Amino acid sequence: MNRERLLQRLLGLGIGAAAVGLATGGIGYGARELLHRQAEAARRMIGKPLGEQAPRADKVWKKKYGDPIELLVLGDSIAAGLGADLPKETFGARLATRLAKATQRSVRLTTGAVVGSESSMLGAQIAGLRPGYVPDVAVIVVGGNDVTHRVPVADSVKHLEEAIAVLRERGSAVVVGTCPDLGALRPVPQPLRSLGSRASRQLAAAQASAAVRSGAHAVSLADVVGPFFITNPDEMFSLDRFHPSALGYKRTARAMLPSVLAALGVEEHVPFGHQPPAQPSDR
């Protein structure tokens, strides 16, 4: 999603929240005008330094190891790698490289993620894969656009559960990176940022519950990498100050790796911020 569109949608989130008194129990016309002015100011400051096409990184990474693992990445602009300058700096490439080194096997990366996607578009991303393709592990990162579009949490979760079910029926392990905390977006002023933060965390919690209930691993991006983005925004964000930089993707891939290894049966235990699938009797 481009910056102007994101700010417009965050503004919509703020006005919608104000209308029902989400943050304060009764925000009126003055607050809506404040949110509008804040979004306009942030839009002028940020501009559009990035396009809407992420570098294409699909290939076999670390060919020398052989016996490739099939890695599929689905979701939105973070999953696609928007903000990276080079293919090797995208989220998918960073994760593929780390996975290859950890397993001593090559990794064939397939990216189905599309910039600007919501959870409702996961089904189309799966349908667009080549016939007969079965990834060993599928990684899904989605949710930010659902928040800024004010998609009901129940609808977002339903689409995520459907995507997990299709992938698991094909025989793929699934790892879900939950919605990042939009409170880390410094160009978005207060109180607009706080509204986005609250909504994104609510969606992330629902995604995690749905993922583990559906037999997938869940990784809380707000917990495992969110602090790095909050404390080091100049390094972790790209030029637009909305999408991760090369370092931001490096950190995110590193944080996701334990659950990917666990999903593949390489590791047994996962650290804080990671949730393994629920046992069948608990689902």
Q: Which residues are identified as catalytic?
A: 77, 240, 243
CB distance 183 to 221 below 8 Å: no
Q: How far apart are CA 35 and CA 16, in angstroms?
A: 11
- Strand 107-111 and strand 60-61: pairing? antiparallel
CB 228 within 8 A of CB 236: yes
Among 155, 145, 61, 143, CA closest to 103: 61
Amino acid identity, residue 53? Answer: Q
Q: Are 56 and 87 in contact (CB under 8 A)?
A: yes
- Are the beta carbons of 95 and 73 closer than 8 angstroms? yes
